[in-house]
Structure 1
Amino acid sequence: MTRIQSTLKAMVTILFCAPLCTPVQAELVGEVDTAFRWLGRDDRVVIEAYDDPKVRGITCYVSRARTGGVKGTVGLAEDRAEASIACRQVTEMLHFTEKLPRQEDVFTERMSILFKRLHIVRVVDSKRNTLIYLTYSDKLIDGNPQNSVTAVPVAHATPIPIK
């Protein structure tokens, strides 16, 4: 098999398997309009909340630009690759549903119809008993180095369970 054939096979596999994944849904917390569009929705910045599925009591808030217009309204526009993240402990006690890997892609969400995704990665800093969350976007061919990071310290009385 040639390199082009194997690349095409990988792309087709990704396209057909991606809908089978059960991504964590974002909860829209708020939005502000940034540019008026005559047709379709306005361009805007949205604030979405993501609850960490393995660490109950931590919510990540992500703000990012959403493209409006006709393409944006029907889901065909490619959103900008810029996002900001802030994760916080939102309950009195944290509960770990299972042991955590040292690094894990916790959330992913589509930013364009095919090849661009927003990622939120959790990294465990066991030395400081802290959970670090990083957001960035990627494309199938090339990524974007723009990123944002936040950290949630965990009380030393509650060690983070590591795989």
Structure 2
Amino acid sequence: MRVINGWLGALLLPLALSASAEEIGQVSTVFKWVGPNDKIVVEAFDDPKVEGVTCYLSRAKTGGVKGGLGLAEDRAEASIACRQVGPIQVPANLKDGEEVFKERTSLVFKTMQVVRFFDKKRNTLVYLVYSDRVIEGSPQNAVTAIPILPWHQ
């Protein structure tokens, strides 16, 4: 049992380190007679390692019967805007390309994720959202950058 728990913990640890999103709002884009409508959802999440940063992600969610049952595959398009919402302290152990948010966008094979980079030369945090699949990802992506500035209230 200890081996199984260790193996399961290793699989779940990356999920625990990723931020979880809070839904801010949504709009319907396609009416469906059966099941939920197709929609665009706006979510917010805080960077789990960099205090003072909140990211806003907008993305499509497929409705209908498959969407209502969690079987539909959502589109790869997404938009992201990250903002400084408080004093920013960049930890020394920050890794470029580190995942800060990840969500399943199909039953098994597709995810949308946000990764962070630190541009030391410009003292700027850069966030990239993209979608990938087990076999083939999508080149569609969006990027946002936050120059680290003194915080004044």
Same fold per superposition (TM over 0.5): yes
Q: 1:21 Cα shift?
A: 3.2
What is the CA distance between 1:97 and its match in structure 2?
Answer: 5.5
3-state SS of paired residue (1:95): coil
1:57 CA displacement? 1.1
Write the deviation string for residues 33-78 of structure 1: whole angstroms up to 9, x where unpaired: 0000011110000001011001111011010100001111121110
Q: Does 1:129 align with 2:123?
A: yes
Identify the match of residue 99 of structure 1 among 87, 93, 104: 93
Question: 1:32 Cα shift?
Answer: 0.3
Q: What is the TM-score with the length of structure 2 in the denominator?
A: 0.85
Aligned equivalent of 1:52? 47
- Structure 1 ranges of 4+ moved more than 2 A: 16-24, 95-99
The percent identity for this pair of structures is 54
Q: Report the more deviating stretch, 58-67 or 16-25.
A: 16-25
Q: How far 1:135 moved relative to its partner?
A: 0.4
Question: Where does the alignment leave 5 or more consecutive residues of structure 2 unmatched?
Answer: 1-6
The yes-or-no answer on 1:42 pairing with 2:37 is yes
**What is the match of residue 4 of structure 2?**
none
**C-alpha separation in 1, matches of 2:69 and 2:15:** 22
Alignment of 1:66-105 (within 5 A): 66-91=61-86, 93-96=87-90, 99-105=93-99
Which among 107, 111, 131 is matched to residue 117 of structure 1?
A: 111
Check the 8 A contact 2:39/2:62 in 1, yes or no: yes
- Which of the residues 44, 60, 64 maps onto 1:65? 60
The count of corresponding residues between Structure 1 and Structure 2 is: 143
RMSD: 2.3
Matched, 1:152 2:146: yes
Uncovered stretches (5+) of structure 1, i.e. residues with no partner: 1-12, 159-163
